[in-house]
Amino acid sequence: MANLKVADGRPIASAAKEKGRTSSPTKELTMTDTAASALKKKIQSSESSIQKLKVHAEKKTCPKDLRYKVRVNIAPDEDLKSDISRIRGDAEQKLIGALTRYHYRRGESNKITLKKSNRDCTFPEKRRKKS
């Protein structure tokens, strides 16, 4: 919260004291360069993760090993081995799909937040309530 500043560049605490308020003045905050750059880094991170997951999906590989150690009480035959490999492959592809959707949603959310903050910083008079 140390990076948050009021529209004229003063820290929140000093602006709040001058106005006689003890709580933080959330309506008068502007987004600092550090917050905008942090959002941009998050967006780039999401996009790079999506690209890596697309490569895994094309190669039919999984970024994480889903195997676990189990004791089998039955002797494995060819049908069991093929069924297990098919189930494992489906689970890996569904995991990749879920991770891709997560990163896509996270990236879109960060893009919307960045656009809103840029719009609010550009037109601060529109944010104030008319009395």
pLDDT, tens digit, 9 for 90 and up, residues 55-86: 988 888 887 766 666 666 777 788 888 988 89
This prediction has a pTM of 0.57
Asked if residues 32 and 57 have their Cβ atoms less than 8 Å apart, the reply is: no
Tell me how far apart the alpha carbons of residues 29 and 8 are, in angstroms, rounded to a whole number. Answer: 10
Provide, rounded to the nearest whole percent, the portion of the chain with pLDDT above 90.
24
Token pair for 112:
């919307």
Nearest to 84 by CA among 62, 66, 63, 64: 66
